[in-house]
Amino acid sequence: MQGIGMPESVHTLSPEPVPSDSEVSFASKLISWQKRYGRHDLPWQQTRDPYAVWVSEIMLQQTQVAAVIGYYQRFMQSFPTIASLAMATQDDVMQHWSGLGYYSRARNLHKAAQQVMEVHGGVFPQTLEAIQALPGIGRSTASAIASFAFEAPHPILDGNVKRVFARHFAIEGWPGLPRVEQQMWALAERLQPAQEHGPYAQALMDMGATLCTRSRPRCDACPLQTTCLAYREGRTRELPASKPRKAIPEKSTTMLILLHDNQVMLEKRPGSGIWGGLWSLPEVDSTLDAQQAAVERYGFQTQKLPPFGTLTHVFSHFKLHILPQPLAVEAALTANQTPDIQWLTLEAAVQAGIPAPVRVLLEQLRWQQTALL
DNA sequence: TACGCGTGGAT
DNA sequence: TATCCAAGCGT
């Protein structure tokens, strides 16, 4: 297949349904390699339970394996079945996701479990269309679940696969570009083997994660070395093309640490947006007076406590400078109990579903108080 | 179509 | 330290 990788490669113009000989060996080489050198002992590989596969695939979206393992084990311990997840409170689910990031994944997973109970009678659906119809499951994740749980012949296209394709077939352009992605989906369909769909999907992921890594790929150990165009042309360093980046903006916010009776006040954030559904510290515009804001918003008379240093948290799309302002609540002028406010001891607060930087602040505070005793 | 959405590891 | 980006999806 000579056209692959050229800017106007043939399969974008006239897709060939029949793979060439070299494309057939692509899959079989990968599968053979996977059986011998791939990963087989990850916690979610000990089962074909579609629910377990599903949870793992959602956690692994944009998240590295090492970060997921502990979360996966605790999550499955607490929510071993679709029914148990569907019946859980959102707070309980978010608590298990706290620190893992991309919290819409947790909200969607929870919602989808309830959908499976209502729409599918508690049985995880088996067709690609029905799987992909669940919130939080796109084409690649649906295919991965179908491949691992049901041995179904659907191609995956995640970051690993894109990297392997971009290098092996010398595909130009950033893989996030719709044109490039469309080209890769067509390629993925042609390369899909006739059998061993689970091992093939795992092989692509293992290749991308352990050999065909972003930097310093281990081409010496690669089963595709003899056919890899990037290797042949010495272009593994420049492929795949990287995403064009813009400078990210910086923002500042003041977080109120309202303390009373050895407890701290947490406020539930709106369901969407940054840290949606998590419990967090109240935020005040940094140009405003924190104590005045505490009175106006909550009816609290407060005494300033010694502040501690600014905490900078970097997101993918902006940088946030957090100015913590500890305040001792002396008196509540008005009742302010709502479902979106709770008072917790520091020990309980760090166990709640809170964003990572808030955890850092509360841990610092707890350490300070311990040191004073 | 481009952007919003977290956190941590690697270089 | 700054930057990239990792088993993507929803809007």
Q: Report CA(A162)–C1'(C6) in Å, whole number.
A: 12
Largest Cα span, chain A: 79
Nucleotide closest to residue A61 (CA–C1'): C7
Read off the pTM. Answer: 0.81
CA A170 – CA A233 distance, rounded (Å): 9
CATH architecture for the domain at A250-371: Alpha-Beta Complex (3.90)
Identify, with chain letter, the residue nearest to nucleotide B6 (CA–C1').
Answer: A101
DSSP A227: G
Residue nearest to nucleotide B2 (CA to C1'): A177
Answer whether A320's CB lies under 8 Å from A252's CB. yes
Give the CA angle between residues A366, A369, A373 to the nearest 5°: 140
- H helices of chain A, where? 10-13, 21-37, 50-59, 65-78, 82-87, 90-97, 104-119, 128-132, 139-150, 159-168, 178-191, 197-206, 229-232, 290-298, 346-349, 356-372
* Rounded distance in angstroms from the CA atom of residue A239 to the C1' atom of nucleotide B1: 24
Residues near chain B strand, CB within 7 A? A 62-64, 66-67, 99-104, 177-178, 215-216, 246, 273-276, 313-317, 355-357
DSSP state of A66: H
Cβ proximity of A148 and A197 under 8 Å: no
CATH superfamily ID and name for A21-233: Hypothetical protein; domain 2 (1.10.340.30)
Q: Which nucleotide is nearest to A177 (CA to C1')?
A: B1
CA of A40 to C1' of B2 (A): 38
Ranges of each domain in chain A: 21-233, 250-371
Which nucleotides of chain B does any protein CB come within 7 A of?
A: 1-11
Distance CA A286, CA A323 (A): 8
> Would the CA dihedral through A286, A357, A324, A248 be positive or negative?
negative
Catalytic residue among A8, A23, A57, A233: A57
Residue A151 is a catalytic residue: no
Cite residues whose beta carbon is less than 7 Å from strand C. Answer: A 39, 42, 44, 56-57, 60-65, 102, 104, 108, 135-142, 144, 158-160, 163, 205-206, 208-209, 214, 242-243, 245, 314, 316
The DSSP secondary-structure symbol of A311 reads: E
The overall average pLDDT reported for chain A is 89
Q: Give me the CA A141–C1' B9 separation in Å, rounded.
A: 23
Terminal Cα-to-Cα distance of chain A (whole angstroms)? 72
Nearest residue (CA) to C1' of B10: A215
Tens of pLDDT, residue by residue, chain A (373 residues): 333 333 333 333 334 455 665 665 999 999 999 999 999 999 999 999 999 999 999 999 999 999 999 999 999 999 999 999 999 999 999 999 999 999 999 999 999 999 999 999 999 999 999 999 999 999 999 999 999 999 999 999 999 999 999 999 999 999 999 999 999 999 999 999 999 999 999 999 999 999 999 999 999 999 999 999 999 999 999 999 988 776 677 888 899 999 998 899 999 998 878 898 899 999 998 888 999 999 999 989 999 998 778 888 887 777 888 899 999 998 776 566 688 899 999 999 988 999 988 998 998 888 887 776 6
